[in-house]
Amino acid sequence: MADPFTLEHRTYYGIEKTLDKVTAGFSTRHGGVSQEPFRTLNLGLHVNDDEVNVIENRKRLAEAIGTQLNQWVFAHQVHDNQIQKVGQKDKGKGSNSYDSGMMGIDGLFTKERDLVLALAYADCVPIYFFSKEVHIVGIAHAGWKGSVKGIASRMIETWVKEENVPVESIHIVVGPSIQHCCYEVDQRVISQVDGALERVYDRPYTSTENSKFQLNLQQLNKQLLLKSGVLEENIHITDLCTSCNVNEFFSHRKEKGSTGRMLGFIKLDQ
């Protein structure tokens, strides 16, 4: 099966059109004005880059997908499992200031057209949510902490219970992130992974010779989504690894914390 992400512009990969009337993608590190170590398209306002440069970079990405920056909504992310419904009143939050983003939130969703939901990444997993029957889209930021706390499952449960979205209509795309080839963790993390996967026997990790583990965050989230009732054929996962492809993406682990941020973004078009 073809990768769901294709390079549509030097500034971003777009999600192949599995659904009409949705624009979604993931930015690269190219086409901006930031200097080292953020060269060039750093989109994070919280990494000590020049704020003027970051806002210019955000404007360039917004223009590349045919929007204006004041249509975008950002979150003040904390590696947790809280999600928030977004409406027109939230338009522009976090676009020019990190602290004006939606506080303590790692997942956003909306039924409103032309609002762009955006979250920042530099190895963590971007998870995109669509429905074929209900006009609704969402995005989540799932590092290992948010993953084991069930942020993906919380999005599904909220849509089903509060937004009347049939679970079988929900499609998932898992975007570029650090892959298992580059992601080594210790027993402390694996213990929490095991706790989250109670009664699931297909474990998303392998042990190494140094008593560590290679963790597959993408498969961890897939297992949790399946537990929430999402159909397996509706889950699509990219092969793009942010750590392996550090010339294309920022990688917090590969670059030892001194790096920029990409954005995952999604919007309903009409």
Cβ-contact 265, 25 below 8 angstroms? yes
> Is 91 within 8 Å of 73 (Cβ atoms)?
yes
Quick check: 39 and 29 in contact, CB under 8 A? Answer: yes
Contacts of range 49-56, beta carbons closer than 8 Å, 24 or more positions apart:
49/260, 55/95, 55/96, 56/32
Average pLDDT over the chain, rounded to an integer: 96
CB 140 within 8 A of CB 174: no
The span from the CA of 5 to the CA of 125, in Å, is 14
User: Quick one: CATH architecture of 5-178+231-268?
Assistant: 4-Layer Sandwich (3.60)
Mean pLDDT of the 141-156 span: 98
The tens digit of pLDDT for each residue in 169-220 reads 999 999 999 999 999 999 999 999 999 998 888 899 999 988 999 999 999 9
User: Which of residues 269 and 138 earns the better pLDDT score?
Assistant: 138
As a whole-number percent, the residues of the chain with pLDDT over 70 amount to 98
User: What's the burial of 16, exposed, middle or buried (CB within 10 Å: 0-12/13-18/19+)?
Assistant: middle
- Which tokens sit at 221? 């989230």
**Predicted model pTM:** 0.97
pLDDT one-digit tens code per residue, 104-127: 999 999 999 989 999 999 999 999
pLDDT of amino acid 198: 87
Domain boundaries, the chain: 5-178+231-268
Nearest to 90 by CA among 102, 77, 99: 102
Q: Would you call 199 helix, strand, or coil by DSSP?
A: coil
Q: Indicate the SS3 state at residue 2.
A: coil
